[in-house]
Amino acid sequence: MAFFKVQFSSEVLGGEGEFSAFLPRNAEPPYRVLWLLHGAFGDFFESIEYSSVLMYAEQRGLAVVAPSSYMGVYTDMVYGEKGYSFVKEVLEKAPKLFRCLSEERDDSYLMGISMGGHGTFKLAAEMPERFRGACGFSSPVDMVYTMSLLESGNHGGGHELYDAFGSSDAYRNTVGDVITNLRNDLEAGKKLPRLALCWGDKDHAAPEDIRVKEIIESLGIKLYSRVGPGGHNFDTWDPMMAEVLDYLMEEEE
């Protein structure tokens, strides 16, 4: 793939932001795009370094665009960077810079690793008309619930989650309240992206993801899910990536 690293003055951050774009060699523009969101406190390089996601994408003719979300928690932090607005800035501007990238819904997919899956489902619920498919790997999709676990001493996260999200009450009914927003989308008759959620059988995120799967399915939303052998790491996620992409890209019935 052709690799571009873009550093620019971000209006949202009030400083420099960064994203990468990978263009496939085996497809003709306009390229379908996989928007790839890294895990907490990482950067765009993380998923590239530890997985074969670029190979899977190129085999399917997908370009990959991966923002380095500041602090990587995909929210406009209570005390910190505007990480969610930055990702949306990249989402808006990258196709205007790279004119070969499609902005069509049917050509647009989201994939998020760990906390990146929160950003993935958050974008999918806020902009269901923008994406055809979205998948998260071992992700705190329902961050309101995750914060409530933290508040009751049942989560391993630290002060950085308070800095980012404030509290479960503060995050409830915001753009980050994914479950509520998915429910609102359904009530508004919006067509949701194809959704997928995968995790490992020894993954600390497994209980949260099992809960989210049950909630989403109880809403009547089809959710593709897979449980791979392993923990919260790329050894677990990588073998599931290609299959998930195939599911998201399947022709709709």
Verify binding: residue 28, another protein, rule CB under 8 A: no
Cis peptide before 239 (omega within 30 of 0): no
What part of residues 189-248 is at the interface with another protein (CB under 8 A)?
Answer: none
Q: Tell me how far, at minimum, the Cβ of 8 lies from another protein, in Å.
A: 4
Verify binding: residue 2, another protein, rule CB under 8 A: yes
Q: How many of the chain's residues bind another protein (CB under 8 A)? A: 18
Q: Which one, 6 or 186, has the nearer CB to another protein? A: 6
Binding mask 57-96 for another protein (x = CB under 8 A): ------------------------------------x--x
Q: Which one, 7 or 173, has the nearer CB to another protein? A: 7
Verify binding: residue 26, another protein, rule CB under 8 A: no
Q: What is the CA radius of gyration of the chain?
A: 17
CB contact at 8 A, 97 and 63: no
Verify binding: residue 4, another protein, rule CB under 8 A: yes
Verify binding: residue 29, another protein, rule CB under 8 A: yes
Q: Tell me how far, at minimum, the Cβ of 13 lies from another protein, in Å.
A: 12
Verify binding: residue 3, another protein, rule CB under 8 A: yes
Q: Which residues bind another protein (CB under 8 A)?
A: 1-9, 23, 25, 29, 93, 96-100
